[in-house]
Structure 1
């Protein structure tokens, strides 16, 4: 049974398994630590006033914290779905670099364009970035699914900016869904994907 499970995982996540496990372990560990001490939240969550005072790491680390176990479960489930969709586009190194870039752009985007947002935690903004990046990678490979995913993420984010997030999700995670983070994340994913396309070395014949 163990061999079957391992084979299934390696088949679906040939290039992203170690990354997915690492992010899952890190997120779960931080969540459990946060249950034991409030210092985790005060030190690592995105807090605008603290960032203004020099706690710049919160621009990145806030993406790895969660409000409750439902918030954590939903985001990690989303992460694994995205990795399964776009595993073929990544190497372990490129995925870590992309993730770090998205975390930084997410934090900077919220800080620069949403001054009224004083606090934020969660991986969903970065997940929207990964999804958008993967959709563009699909399109670049001339995969029809890429256009469907691209239109889907644009439609979802646009809807949220007008109507907000589901009330059920808000109740489940015990906090307001920061839909602005989804917008920033999706735009960040598009910026990074376009940057790679523009600056990628081209063969000269």
Structure 2
């Protein structure tokens, strides 16, 4: 992400989610949009979130599992932007994927009874709920250099739930 950010505006323009260009066949933008950012503040904030998430999930899953989860979340958020948010013309940033990663990391630990994981998971869900009801804080948009896409956060969270269900990391509600 940092290297791509150093590439400046040309890198951003080549990789950001652009609905028209995706519809014209540039499908890679569904994935690449999550690696470019609106500016350095946005990039560093997301890099910090990724580092925190990696620290919380250290030793839980393999590098291959992380790569698969990040890819699945990025493609899921991109696809949901296309299908569920047709008015969204462009998007960049890792925050939608990050919301998903935090849930993907914390949910299995929470189900095993880790109190701190429950607190973290509830904090992520509460923040998302707050954003959906109140909208993003205006200062965040000004600081980042663009609008916060709360929908992407929701889509990342929903994709993480699907990942967790698919990986059977959620508790079994019924025993056979």
**Do both share a fold (TM > 0.5)?**
yes
**1-side partners of 2:63 and 2:47: how far apart?**
18
- Alpha-carbon distance in structure 2 between the residues aligned to 1:42 and 1:68: 12
Q: Could you tell which deviates more after superposition, 64-73 or 149-158?
A: 149-158
**1:189 has 2:160 as partner:** yes
Residue 30 (1) aligns with residue 1 (2): no
Unaligned runs of 5+ in 1: 1-26, 199-205
State the Cα distance separating 1:132 from its structure 2 match. Answer: 0.7
- Is 2:72 the partner of 1:72? no
Q: SS at 1:59's partner residue?
A: helix
Aligned pair count reads 169
SS in 2 for 1:89: coil
Q: Which has the higher helix share?
A: 1
| Aligned-residue RMSD, C-alpha | 1.3
Q: Unaligned stretches of 5+ in structure 2? A: 170-176
User: Structure 2-normalised TM-score?
Assistant: 0.91
CA–CA distance in 2 between the matches of 1:194 and 1:104? 17
With CA pairs under 8 Å and 6+ residues apart, which has the higher RCO, 1 or 2?
2
List 4+ stretches of structure 1 deviating above 3 A: none
Check if 1:55 corresponds to 2:26.
Answer: yes
**Deviation digits for residues 133-192 of structure 1 (CA, Å, limit 9, x no counterpart):** 112121233212222222211111111011111111111111011111111111111110
Q: How far has the Cα of 1:34 moved from its partner? A: 2.2
Normalised by the length of structure 1, the TM-score is 0.79
Cα separation, 1, equivalents of 2:66 and 2:48 = 17
